[in-house]
Structure 1
Amino acid sequence: MMNATPRHHLLPAVAAVVTVVLWASAFVAIRSAGDAYSPGALALGRLLSGSVALGIICVVRREGWPPRSAWRGIGLSGVLWFGFYMVALNWGEQQVDAGTAALVVNVGPLLIALLGARLLGDPMPPRLLAGMAVSFAGAVTVGLSMSAGGGSSVLGVVLCLLAAVGYAFGVVAQKPALGRASALQVTTFGCLVGAVVCLPFAGQLVGQAAHAPASATLDMVYLGIFPTALAFTTWAYALARTTASRMGATTYAVPALVVLMSWLALGEVPGPLTLAGGVLCLAGVAVSRSRARGRTRRVAAGEPRPEKVG
């Protein structure tokens, strides 16, 4: 009995960490593969790779089809997050520098908190609000420090903002579905829906794959298997056990990790302002994920919270 509660808290936290690390690595892979693949083709190739990986796992685990009551959330998240978000983000990153993209996309967690409070009845405790404010300040600092001298286009900023909106609505739509189907089912069929949405780019994918270097194609497959199949499943697992607002705040760690990965993998040494912004991002996540001691015992042990839609 004594070990159940720590384990219940630990597994979702580990799942959230896996998600954030893999999503941070996606920024590097998208930048690399984007030289050979157009935004739509890259999104479709990523989603097809993820769907194959997830489909194999579902067959092995005999997951079956999700219940009918979960399909509304699965369909909406598949269209908005797996499909629209990925195309918009890929396109936006071709128009603006990485710092500006990270800054604009990080509007997403704020939108998730607002939508979660309005549509799902998520609480907005002071710790969460304070942590999000600190993390957003860190994201702004990282974005400004990495921006390349004002070379951003209006189109790129708009695309990244649209990606953030699709991401936020997709997360909020996914949350109720996780009370009716497993994390693996929601992720697998959401990924399939996203792939169907991106099928108009199939011709581009086939044509570009014939001429793309092997490294770019491997980057695309990596995006499908790890930041999509694995990270979206661990995200769904953690989201099913906490609020959408709290999980959204967790993704503020992504810019800090992107800075670290660029430093290690690409030799891009961050400046003092970038490092300070990264520290603020992580500090804000720590605050937003912390709990008041008096509320620790109220954490739901896998129970679906009553959802408010509308």
Structure 2
Amino acid sequence: MARVPPPVALAVSILALSTSAILVRWSEAPSVVVAFYRVLFTLLLLAPVALVRHRADFRALSVRDAGVAAVTGVALAIHFAAWFESLNWTSVAASVTLVQTQPVFVAIGAYLLLDERVTVRTVGGITLALAGAAVMSVSDLLSGTTLAGTAPYGNALALLGGLMAACYVLAGRSLRQRIALLPYVSVVYGSCALVLLVLVFAGGTPLTGYPAREWLLFVAMAVGPGVFGHTVINWALAHVESSVVSVSLLGEPVGATLLAFLLLAEIPGPTTVLGGLVVLTGIGLTARTR
């Protein structure tokens, strides 16, 4: 990874992340189970390498940093649980676009927690993004599709996922300046998997008994969006500013919507497209001022 230019790494990660919503839609397993196995299998792929090659980094990890990384994993778990569930209630285009409002929340969090100045352009971008989200919600509600009546609930879950993703990016940008990639993601993914496992048990959802097709989808989510998606994003956070990463993540809705059109025959209505463009414009304006 040290030899890979960050823009190339970000492009690879966005391509990998764009497949996530499609893989989730193809799966018939409960969303929390899908999220759990995606994170668990990603952890199982990376942790052995981390333990072999980064023992000294694990020993040097402070209690404070380990605790913050564990809390970051909790935020990631909520992100996954909320976003995966939103895909059962709203369209791929709306869900993926709304979950990518995270740069807006990054800007707000930076102001409240890091005492960074928020400009008029930032406020304008936040307002524009939220207006676009409202347009998308109304569009889905009036679309007449099978998801129309439940779209506001799904959109709210996607927004919650975006908020938790912002917490994940902000914490990652801070911790990755002093923690090696694999030890960091091992702690984050481990904490995330434990939280998702608790949610599985709390809901009485079975962990086994799924057909081979589902297990293949779980592995595909771990290799694609897990290893080449989120893990590469965490690598990039040590090399480029969080705002650059946030803006790059805006490519995911475009890729996911295109894949949904090609593979799911899910055609977004004109108002949904318009709302999505407004959201992306607002997010881009917000992130650019960062």
Q: What is the TM-score with the length of structure 1 in the denominator?
A: 0.73
Q: How far apart, CA to CA, are the structure 2 residues paired with 1:287 and 1:159?
A: 24
Q: How far apart, CA to CA, are the structure 2 residues paired with 1:184 and 1:77?
A: 15
Aligned to 2:35: 43
Residues 161 and 137 of structure 1: CA distance in aligned 2, closer, same or farther (over 3 Å): closer
CA apart distance, 1:243: 2.5
Aligned pairs for 1:171-186 (under 5 A) are 171-186=169-184
Across the aligned residues of Structure 1 and Structure 2, the Cα RMSD in angstroms comes to 3.7
Q: How far apart, CA to CA, are the structure 2 residues paired with 1:60 and 1:129?
A: 46
User: What is the SS of the residue equivalent to 1:209?
Assistant: coil
CA apart distance, 1:202: 5.2
Aligned to 2:85: 91
- Please identify, of 158-167 and 130-139, the stretch whose mean Cα deviation from structure 2 is larger: 130-139
The answer on 1:209 being equivalent to 2:208 is: yes
Aligned to 1:74: 69
Amino acid at match of 1:58: A
Q: How far apart, CA to CA, are the structure 2 residues paired with 1:11 and 1:141?
A: 37
Q: Which has the higher contact order (CA 8 A, sep 6+)?
A: 2
Amino acid at match of 1:207: P
Q: What is the TM-score with the length of structure 2 in the denominator?
A: 0.77
The answer to whether the Cα contact below 8 Å between 2:128 and 2:278 also exists between their aligned partners in 1 is yes
Number of residues paired by the alignment? 280
Aligned to 2:7: 13
The answer on 1:115 being equivalent to 2:109 is: yes
Long gaps (5+) in structure 2: none
Residues 221 and 248 of structure 1: CA distance in aligned 2, closer, same or farther (over 3 Å): same
CA apart distance, 1:142: 8.3
CA apart distance, 1:141: 8.5
The answer to whether the Cα contact below 8 Å between 1:109 and 1:251 also exists between their aligned partners in 2 is no
CA apart distance, 1:31: 0.8
Task: Using the aligned pairs only, state the percent identity.
Answer: 22
CA apart distance, 1:23: 1.2
- Please identify, of 165-174 and 45-54, the stretch whose mean Cα deviation from structure 2 is larger: 165-174
Aligned to 2:149: 151
Dislocated runs of 4+, deviation >3 Å = 120-154, 201-209, 263-291
User: What is the SS of the residue equivalent to 1:227?
Assistant: helix
- Please identify, of 119-128 and 66-75, the stretch whose mean Cα deviation from structure 2 is larger: 119-128
CA apart distance, 1:246: 2.7
CA apart distance, 1:181: 0.2
Residues 156 and 133 of structure 1: CA distance in aligned 2, closer, same or farther (over 3 Å): closer
Amino acid at match of 1:254: E
Aligned to 1:61: 53
Amino acid at match of 1:49: F
1:199 to 197, 200, 215: 197
CA apart distance, 1:152: 3.2
Q: How far apart, CA to CA, are the structure 2 residues paired with 1:88 and 1:267?
A: 24
CA apart distance, 1:217: 1.8
Aligned pairs for 1:174-253 (under 5 A) are 174-201=172-199, 207=206, 209-210=208-209, 212-253=210-251
The answer to whether the Cα contact below 8 Å between 1:250 and 1:285 also exists between their aligned partners in 2 is no
CA apart distance, 1:13: 1.3
- Please identify, of 14-23 and 148-157, the stretch whose mean Cα deviation from structure 2 is larger: 148-157
The answer on 1:32 being equivalent to 2:26 is: yes
Long gaps (5+) in structure 1: 1-6, 292-310
Q: How far apart, CA to CA, are the structure 1 residues paired with 2:285 and 2:151?
A: 34
Residues 270 and 138 of structure 1: CA distance in aligned 2, closer, same or farther (over 3 Å): same
CA deviation map 1:190-227 (0-9, x unaligned): 000101112225557983531x2322221112112321
Q: How far apart, CA to CA, are the structure 2 residues paired with 1:253 and 1:144?
A: 23
User: What is the SS of the residue equivalent to 1:242?
Assistant: coil
